[in-house]
Amino acid sequence: MTSSLLRVARATVADAATAAALFDAYRQFYAQPADLATARAFIGERLARGDSWIALAWQGDAAVGLCQCYPLFSSTAPRPGPAPLLNDLYVVPEARGSGAAQALMQAAEAHARATGCVAMELSTARSNTRAQALYTSQGWVRDEVFFVYGKTLAS
């Protein structure tokens, strides 16, 4: 992207198709098959219900990045508000290095602070070293104490 004008705005229901395209690209980055219909349904539902916070980064008229946070509560670290899980952060390849990822992260942090949150969390693939360097540069600290486990349940 050649445009130097970068802006970040919270996504609305009217932005669902744009956000869904970026979300689908994000999922493909993590080796998921392209599925724009599912991405549209998922993002549309999140925006309609307001159960996640989604921001888009724009360069001119082009949406170049997406950030999505979900509220996360902890039984062992009760807080005044949820600790948002910055679950999805994606910038299109041609806009990487433009500051879009940093701007999206800063917008997510500002939103979390404005809503009374005192902490945030995120996770990334071990192989995603470029993202890890970004997170460290933004003041995030990697957890060296806890392991994260997952389990796929049969449908």
Q: What is the residue extent of each domain of the chain?
A: 6-137
For the chain, state the CA radius of gyration.
16
Question: Would you identify the CATH topology of the domain 6-137?
Answer: Aminopeptidase (3.40.630)
Query: If pLDDT is split at 50, 70 and 90, which confidence band does 68 have?
Result: very high
pTM given for the model: 0.89
pLDDT at 4 (0 to 100): 62
Statement: residue 114 has pLDDT above 80: yes
pLDDT at 1 (0 to 100): 41
Put residue 15 in one of left, alpha, beta given phi > 0 → left and psi -120 to 50 → alpha: alpha
Residue 117 structure tokens: 């949150």
Looking at beta carbons, which pairs linking 77-80 to residues 24 or more positions away fall under 8 Å? 77/119, 79/117, 79/118, 79/119, 80/116, 80/117, 80/118
Q: Following CA atoms 103, 139, 126, 63 in sequence, which dihedral angle do they give, to the nearest 10 degrees?
A: 0
